[in-house]
Amino acid sequence: MDLDTLFRGLVVGQFTALAGIRLHYKWVTGTVAARPQVRAEGWFTVLLRLSLTLSLLVLVGVYILRRPEADRLAVALPVWLRLVGVPLSLGALTLLVCAHRALGAYFSPTLRLRADHRLVETGPYRWVRHPIYAAYLLFFLAVGLVSANAGIGGLGIAVILILITLRLPREERLLKGRFGARWDRYVEATGRLVPRWGPPRVPPGVTEGAVEEVRSEALPGPCLRVCCEGRPDESSPVDSLAVVDGVGLRGGIRPGNGPPGGLPGPRAPG
């Protein structure tokens, strides 16, 4: 088998795995036939995303069938760099699966919240607010490397950047409207697409003097511990994933609960 055939086969495998994961979670959440929320997203966003997605599918098909049209967008990349795209795509697909598993029934491909929607703070949502977008960006970067085709990688990334630029702010406004201050605290503690570097910010209701940086043998880095004397005010309870001696416990920092450690920030899906 020549290298060209190998790389084309890898691209087929990458997109097959992506489609399988996407279809599976749409099926289990009953959103296979979900239509775009045009009022929520806007016609321009929906049509632009649709046109670029169809163009991407056509280009991938042309590439797989070895049509000469695809060669016009070919990029000369060394073999080792193209092979780097394989573990990158595996990492992206793993992140995608973890995000879907954390969201569970709250996943939706459209801009809508369920009546019983809750904030999600498990899995990759503990560190980033939108790991699915991050997974897709990494995936299309990987596919672009494996295929050595600027059109395939560029169009895929363009679709996700459009969603991040035009749709993601609407999504966050929707979440802000539903969850209010809880969403604000989550935003303060996490990054949008990559984890926030440095120590988490102090949640509302906790004074700076009440927070000290400690290290736990069970955790690779510093965490925040809220001392007894720094409990939040009665008017601003802080729901969080508490960390006591390196063990994650579902709970919150509330007056009268004693001195648990806490990492601020419930997570909302998206």
Which amino acid, residue 49? R
Do 123 and 253 fall into the same domain? Answer: no
Please check whether residues 62 and 153 belong to one and the same domain.
yes
Same domain, 142 and 225: no
CA distance 212 to 233: 18
Do 172 and 53 lie in a common domain?
A: yes
> Does residue 91 lie in a domain region?
yes
Of 126, 155, 189, which residue sits at a domain end?
Answer: 189
Q: Does some domain include residue 8?
A: yes
Question: What SS3 state is found at 252?
Answer: strand
**Together in a domain, 185 and 216:** no
117 with 53, same domain?
A: yes
If you count them, how many residues does the chain have? Answer: 270
214 phi and psi, to 5 degrees? Answer: -130, 165
3-class DSSP assignment, residue 212:
strand
**DSSP string computed for 68-103:** HHHHTTB----HHHHHHHHHHHHHHHHHHHHHHHHH
Residue 238 within any structural domain of the chain: yes
Query: Containing domain of residue 221, as a range?
Result: 208-264
Residue 11 within a domain: yes
Q: Which helix (H) or strand (E) holds 240?
A: strand 238-244
Same domain, 92 and 169: yes
Query: Do 57 and 148 reside in the same domain of the chain?
Result: yes
Q: What pTM, to 2 d.p., does this model score?
A: 0.71
Asked if residue 33 is part of any domain, the answer here is: yes
Residues 184 and 233 reside in one and the same domain = no
Task: Tell me the CATH number at 77.
Answer: 1.20.120.1630
Instruction: Note whether residue 270 is domain-resident.
Output: no
Inside any domain, residue 269: no
Per-residue pLDDT of the chain (270 residues; tens, 9 = 90+): 688 899 999 999 999 999 999 999 999 888 887 777 777 677 787 888 888 888 899 999 999 988 888 888 899 999 999 999 999 999 999 999 999 999 888 887 777 777 777 888 889 999 999 999 999 999 999 999 999 999 999 999 998 998 889 888 888 888 888 888 888 999 998 999 999 876 655 544 444 444 444 333 334 444 333 333 333 443 333 333 333 333 333 334 444 444 444 444 444 445
Q: Is there a single domain that holds both residue 131 and residue 52?
A: yes
**Six token digits for residue 149:** 């085709």
Q: Are 72 and 177 part of one and the same domain? A: yes
Same domain, 77 and 134: yes
Q: Is residue 164 part of a domain?
A: yes
Q: From CA 45, how far away is CA 177, in angstroms rounded?
A: 21
**Final residue before a domain boundary, out of 143, 162, 189:** 189
pLDDT digits (tens, 9 = 90+) for 200-223: 555 444 444 444 443 333 344 443
How many domains in the chain?
2
